[in-house]
Amino acid sequence: MNRLVIKVGSAVLTDKNKIAKERMLNLVTLIVKLRARYDVLLVTSGAVAAGYSALQLDKNKQIGKKAIASAGQPILMASYKKKFDIYNINTAQILLTEDDFDSRKRTKMFQDIIDAHLNNNILPIINENDITSTPEQLFGDNDQLSASVAHAVKADLLVILSDIDGYYDKNPQEHNDAKIYKVLHELPKGSLKDAATPNDPFATGGIVTKLKAADFMLKNGRKMFLTNGFDLTAAEQFLLHDTHTLGTLFI
Ligand code: ADP
């Protein structure tokens, strides 16, 4: 079966410092449908927002953020587990850092673990392990982590679910006349150097980290689809009905 990595960001998964449970349930329902056609892996943000409800430290300070994330990770996983339990789907938690991709031995280890999960119908749920890692070891956002994971597990496609319909020729929050790119074979010149513009207090990436992920996928001969995670219609159309309505396909 083809492998699919789905990455969902904080903008979609959280709402006012809390997990957006209805949106999470919609995502879980989509993943259940996708599993009939693909081997699915999920890369998820949301630990900091989930932890913030239990521990209100300063998330802009390194220790505060790590403490919140470590309190939030089990809350996030519990929330997923509750929803996947409805469909009798078992999940596994995999926490990775950039170092896991640097050493062949370490990469092989998590590749084998993920293979074991997929072969046994378990859904791997991946997040960055930012608890013990130093700033140099961190991806800092799950966009690039998800691209590295997709490459390591030889996924055909990475789907990034964000708060936006796709990639536009200019920031659509600031320009009414911004036009969406439907298919891109390479990134527009200079696009990787634009300033980071996350649209959410818990988001770390903005559009640039998504473009870096797309660039990595394209350079490795893989595909990426950036689409809306609030309304999953376009994702479902594309992934289950082979119809490309909204969303940017990097191919
Ligand atoms: P997530 O939490 O899903 O990772 P982010 O808030 O980090 O999402 O990134 C998506 C945001 O990037 C969009 O909501 C939009 O405000 C901003 N953005 C800036 N420039 C563009 C562009 N050219 N096309 C699409 N989005 C853009």
Average pLDDT, the chain: 93
- In short, whether 11's Cβ falls inside 6 Å of ligand 1 is yes
Confidence of residue 206 (pLDDT cuts 50, 70, 90): confident
Ligand 1 atom 15 nearest Cα: 199
| Contact yes or no for 85/92 (Cβ under 8 A) | no
Residue 138: the pLDDT is 80
What's the 141 CA to ligand 1 centre distance in angstroms? Answer: 13
Compute the residue count for the chain: 251
Pocket test for ligand 1, best of 145, 158, 207, 227 (most atoms within 8 A of CB): 207
pLDDT of residue 204 exceeding 70: no
CA 93 to chain centre: 14
pLDDT of residue 185 exceeding 70: yes
pLDDT of residue 214 exceeding 90: yes
Closest CA to 141 of 3, 11, 228, 1: 11
pLDDT of residue 140 exceeding 90: no
Residue 203: the pLDDT is 59
What's the 187 CA to ligand 1 centre distance in angstroms? Answer: 16
pLDDT digits over 12-54, tens only? 999 988 899 999 999 999 999 999 999 999 999 999 989 988 8
pLDDT of residue 130 exceeding 90: no
User: CA angle, corner 156, sides to 166 and 139, nearest 5?
Assistant: 65
> What's the rounded Cα separation, in Å, for the pair 237 and 15?
25
> What's the rounded Cα separation, in Å, for the pair 133 and 145?
14
Q: Which atom of ligand 1 is nearest to the CA of 166?
A: 25
- In short, whether 167's Cβ falls inside 6 Å of ligand 1 is yes
Ligand 1 atom 10 nearest Cα: 206
What's the 236 CA to ligand 1 centre distance in angstroms? Answer: 21
- In short, whether 79's Cβ falls inside 6 Å of ligand 1 is no
- In short, whether 198's Cβ falls inside 6 Å of ligand 1 is yes
- In short, whether 191's Cβ falls inside 6 Å of ligand 1 is no
Residue 7: the pLDDT is 98
CB-count burial class (<10 Å; 0-12, 13-18, 19+) for 223:
middle
> What's the rounded Cα separation, in Å, for the pair 225 and 165?
10
Residue 47: the pLDDT is 93
What's the 172 CA to ligand 1 centre distance in angstroms? Answer: 9
- In short, whether 10's Cβ falls inside 6 Å of ligand 1 is yes
What is the side-by-side strand order in the sheet with 223-228?
91-96, 123-128, 38-44, 2-8, 157-162, 223-228, 248-250, 183-184
Which of 9-13, 15-19, 72-76 is least confident? Answer: 15-19
CB-count burial class (<10 Å; 0-12, 13-18, 19+) for 88:
exposed
- In short, whether 15's Cβ falls inside 6 Å of ligand 1 is no
The helix or strand, by DSSP H or E, that contains position 110, with its residue range, turns out to be helix 104-119
What's the 89 CA to ligand 1 centre distance in angstroms? Answer: 31
pLDDT of residue 113 exceeding 90: yes
Residues 6+ apart with CB under 8 A from 172: 164, 178, 180
Mean pLDDT of 191-203: 69
pLDDT of residue 195 exceeding 70: no
Residue 196: the pLDDT is 60
pLDDT digits over 145-169, tens only? 999 999 999 999 999 999 999 999 9
pTM of the model: 0.94
Confidence of residue 132 (pLDDT cuts 50, 70, 90): confident
Residue that wins the pLDDT comparison between 202 and 67: 67
pLDDT of residue 91 exceeding 90: yes
